[in-house]
Amino acid sequence: MKRWWPYPLLTAALVAMWLLLTESVALGSILMGGILATVALWGFAALDPPGGRLKRPRAAVALAALVMADVARSNLAVAKIILNPRKTERVSGFLRIPLDMRAPYGLATLACIITGTPGTIWVEYNSANNTILLHILDLVDEKTWIDTIKGRYEKRLMEIFE
């Protein structure tokens, strides 16, 4: 049974999402949703994802709230920069930040947080020296950015994933 449906709950969730998106519970929609979900999850199972659990779910919820607040704040800051083009003291640039974290899911989550926050983009990860390269729209103070990434995000992600 595991060979045909490696993730039965996820299969059911994908079928339910398909039915919601198609706005139909006709037999054809159910069959098509089931086929698509099964094939998609066969592909996912072929990737052989490692099992894992969150070590501190409360920390994950707190981090999610923090990220949502930071994204909202960053949206306002980027809007001010775009809507007020006369200010020329804004300097964008690249910044390399050394990391202590090595957990792959933690790094992936950090990449999503940084890239999902307006004004910053994760450009590169160098696994040899464990550094990331970021492009920042408003690079005023490098030390502040390093402290923000390491203290605000990396520390919490290490709590969750390591």
Residue-level pLDDT, tens digit, the chain, 162 residues: 666 777 888 899 999 999 999 999 999 999 999 999 999 988 888 877 666 666 788 999 999 999 999 999 999 989 988 888 776 677 889 999 999 999 888 899 999 999 999 999 999 999 999 999 999 998 888 999 999 999 999 999 999 887
Strand-pair category, 120-126 with 131-136: antiparallel
Q: What value does the CA radius of gyration of the chain take, rounded to a whole number of Å?
A: 21
State pTM to two decimals.
Answer: 0.73
Tokens (6 digits) for 46 = 């072929």
Tokens (6 digits) for 90 = 């804004």
CA atoms within 13 A on the CB side of 77: 16
User: Could you tell me the CA-to-CA distances from 82 to 53, 65, 67, 79, 140 in Å, in that order?
Assistant: 41, 26, 22, 5, 16
The contacts of residue 123 (CB under 8 Å, 6+ apart) are: 94, 132, 133, 134, 135
Residue 33: is it exposed, middle or buried by C-beta count within 10 angstroms (0-12/13-18/19+)? buried
Tokens (6 digits) for 18 = 């398909």
